[in-house]
Structure 1
Amino acid sequence: MKKRLSVLAAAVALACASASTMAGTVFDAVKKKGYVQCGLSDGVSGFSATNSKGEWEGMDVDICRAIAAAMFGDASKYKGTALSTQQRFTALQSGEVDVLMRTVTLTQTRDTSLGLAAVAASFYDGQGIMVRKSQNVKSAKELDGATVCVQPGTTTELNLADWFRTHGIKFTPVVIDKVTEVVRAFESGRCDAFTDDASQLAAVRATQLAKPDDYEILPERFSKEPLGLMVRQGDDQWQGVVRWTLFALMEAEEYGITQKNVDDMLKSPNPNIQRILGVTPGAGKNMGVDEKWAYNAIKAVGNYGEIFERNVGQQSKLKLARGTNALWSHGGAMYPWPIR
């Protein structure tokens, strides 16, 4: 019995040692190089795209900037890497990027079989399909025999096939890798329809099609698309920084902390606000960052609601309703874990 216990103890010690050697490796590497490398998609207006000055902008970019602010106290300490759907997971696996936020749908397979970890959902979406109004199509069920533009290697491609097969509808996929090329193919008439996440279809229609009013997004939603952040498995410390930065942005909205009033909120007697903003210490130490990590993130980009509204909401060209992306207290699905 003693021998068995000794063997068991040795196995546990070895497992703990292995875990400790993995812990902090990405965190330490990011700290050493002095910036966060974010995997983004270039050309998805509202989420991540480069403007005429070559500067990144969009909802995913703001969350990347928030992570940089939490890590370094400076939102400019980040770099964006434009990734295609085919490149994105390999880029994260290889260490080319530190966090992947390229409108990635979080799924069981991706969270378990790629050596990657799903952190949390930053935007809840659903796959839709867009057509020309001149086609007089009011439902995707009327698209029997249609050609449909779709990107390869995505859940979008799989969902499309599943939905059409389930409804006994035939279609021909036109598979094109880059979003901009898909849009051009659709606009030129090479495809009868274009499928993607509904938010991206709205972005394409608002910003990339010459005559936005000539197109409509059909009512069907083919899937659940929890879009979110992914990191490599094996570094809980780095995963914690990424996850809790996102949750801090949501918690800030819940407690009325904004980019404009965050300094005044430092004086708030609310113990939850004091913990979020680092007035009451502990959260920063737990993650290995400054106690003002959340304050720095909010000061740089605002809370989750502010990020949403200016990039994809009513203050943007997309004018998307909050819907499922509203806070849980307002009928949505955004339910951040408490910072305490």
Structure 2
Amino acid sequence: MRRAISRYGLVAGLLSLLAAPAPVLAQAEGPALERIRSEGLLRCGVVRTGPGVSETDSLGVWRGFFPDYCRALAAAVLGDAEAVEFVEVSYTVRFEALREGAFDVLMGNTTWTASRDTALGLAFTAPLYYDGQGFMASKALGATKLADVGEATVCVHRNTTTIATLEELVATRGLRLEIRGFDSTEGVYDAFFAHDCEILSQDRIALTSVRLSRAPDPEDYVLFTDVVSKEPLGPALRSGDEAWFDVVQWTVFATFLAEELGIRSDTLASHLDSPRPETRRLLGTDPGIGRDLGLTYDWARQVIAQVGNYEEIFERNLAPLGLDRGLNRPWSEGGLLYAPPLR
């Protein structure tokens, strides 16, 4: 029940606000920022998905689209993109690990949903990648879409939107699919490529990576034309730390805005004397935004210089997989990437 406010009380309250000194706008540090600064290290939860998306290289270094956003956060907060401790986590326990404080942010191909945003006590920023659930099968199955499939077994991860969507499809469309759930990424992929199941279902970004990196011969496998869900993928945090949420959110937006303004890591220096107000605010030439976030004036400049804008991060990691930008283009080019005004 809301407390009633009298007309007099409302007017008096407004007058007192007008008479009060202007508030200090610098944001409180919050528990996550305090710990990251104290230790000089960002702890980033990652899920092993595949090259280009999230995977370790031959030296054990995490590479890919999502790990690069871990580095972007470290650059924003600490001025050092390599000040990251990568914490590998499975799809099954990722949310529990996040809630228990095993890492500061979960940066994986994790879908933003209503129940995760509410019942699980998580908070999601603007998505990094707009995707959809798809299907992959051996060409020997003789199918290029779900409608071509008779009876088949499908391998999926447990504790994902993938298995929930698949269960709904089977129930509502009458598909003759047997669902086999696995707790680990390796379990899913091993079973599929060992032909223990005919179909693999996952986000299409992951299927594209897996086909190229895990299949004995990628040409023997086909990605179905079906896209059966909306999968907005992006950072997940523990709810209740508004200061940290804002830093993660605006670091994502900074990469969008840098692309929109044509600022790349290799052209950054030429923009430092730009007369354009939004460019000056983004790069810290006109200080202010960084202070409001509890960061240095050049926080976004460090992100761009050390990691790049969205286009660079995409080109470095996902373009080699053969993925096009699709929905993941700037709004000015008909895509869904849209940063609020930086002012």
Q: TM-score, normalised by structure 2?
A: 0.90
The 5 A counterparts of 1:254-293 are 254-293=260-299
Per-residue CA deviation, residues 115-144 of structure 1 (Å, 9 max, x unaligned), is 211111000000000011122112212323
Whether the 8 Å CA contact 2:97–2:103 is kept in 1: the answer is yes
Matched residue SS, 2:45 = strand
Q: What is the alpha-carbon distance in structure 2 between the residues aligned to residue 32 and residue 56 of structure 1?
A: 24
State whether residues 149 and 194 of structure 1, in contact with CA within 8 Å, keep that contact through their aligned partners in structure 2.
yes
Q: Which moved more, 1:100-109 or 1:138-147?
A: 138-147
Q: How does 1:153-302 map to 2 (within 5 A)?
A: 153-302=159-308
Residue in 2 that maps onto 1:321: 324
For the residues of structure 2 that align with 1:103 and 1:109, how far apart are their CA atoms? Answer: 17
| Cα distance in 1 for residues equivalent to 2:132 and 2:316 | 21
Judging changes above 3 Å, is the alpha-carbon distance between structure 1 residues 71 and 225 closer, same or farther for their aligned structure 2 residues?
same
1:83 corresponds in structure 2 to: 89
Unmatched runs of 5 consecutive residues or more in structure 1: 9-21
Task: Identify which range, 141-150 or 55-64, moves more after superposition.
Answer: 141-150
Contact 2:92 2:184 in 1 (8 A): no
TM-aligned CA deviation for residue 49 of structure 1: 0.7
Residue identity opposite 1:171 in structure 2: L
Alignment partners' CA distance in 1, 2:29 and 2:100: 17
User: What is the alpha-carbon distance in structure 1 between the residues aligned to residue 179 and residue 266 of structure 2?
Assistant: 48
Q: Separation in 2 of the partners of 1:73 and 1:285?
A: 15
User: Which deviates the most, 98-107 or 22-31?
Assistant: 22-31
1:337 aligns with 2:340: yes
1:55 CA drift (Å)? 0.4
Secondary structure, aligned partner of 2:215: coil
What secondary structure is seen at the aligned counterpart in 1 of 2:95? helix
Give the fraction of aligned pairs with identical amino acids, expressed as a percent: 40
Q: Is the 8 A contact 1:86 1:153 kept in 2?
A: yes
Q: Which amino acid aligns with 1:34?
A: G
In the alignment of these two chains, the number of paired residues is: 322
Hey, what does 2:144 align to over in structure 1? 138
Say whether the 8 Å CA contact 2:65–2:318 is kept in structure 1.
yes
Q: Report 1:14-25 matches (<5 A).
A: 24-25=30-31
Q: Taking structure 1 as reference, are residues 23 and 107 closer, same or farther at Cα in structure 2, changes over 3 Å only?
A: farther
Query: Corresponding residue for 1:117?
Result: 123
Amino acid corresponding to residue 287 of structure 1 in structure 2: L
TM value normalised by structure 1 = 0.91
For residues 161-184 of structure 1, the C-alpha deviation after alignment (integer angstroms, 9 at most, x for no partner) is 112222111211121122222112
Asked whether 1:147 is paired with 2:149, we answer no
Rounded to whole Å, the distance in 2 between the matches of 1:284 and 1:327 is 23
Amino acid at match of 1:248: A
Q: Specify the SS of the correspondent of 2:51.
A: coil
Matched ranges for 1:5-154 at <5 A = 24-154=30-160
Superposition deviation, residue 23 in structure 1? 6.8
CA distance in 1, matches of 2:274, 2:300: 15
Structure 2 unpaired stretches of 5+: 10-27
Q: Which moved more, 1:137-146 or 1:325-334?
A: 137-146
Q: Distance in 2 between matches of 1:238 and 1:139?
A: 42
Aligned alpha-carbon RMSD (Å): 1.9
Provide runs of 4+ in structure 1 moved above 6 Å: none
- 2:129 and 2:285 map into 1 onto residues whose CA distance is 29
Write the distance in 1 (CA, Å) between the matches of 2:76 and 2:118.
27
Aligned partners of 2:69, 2:186: CA distance in 1, in Å?
A: 23
| Structure 2 CA distance for aligned equivalents of residues 207 and 334 of structure 1 | 28
1:54 CA displacement: 0.5
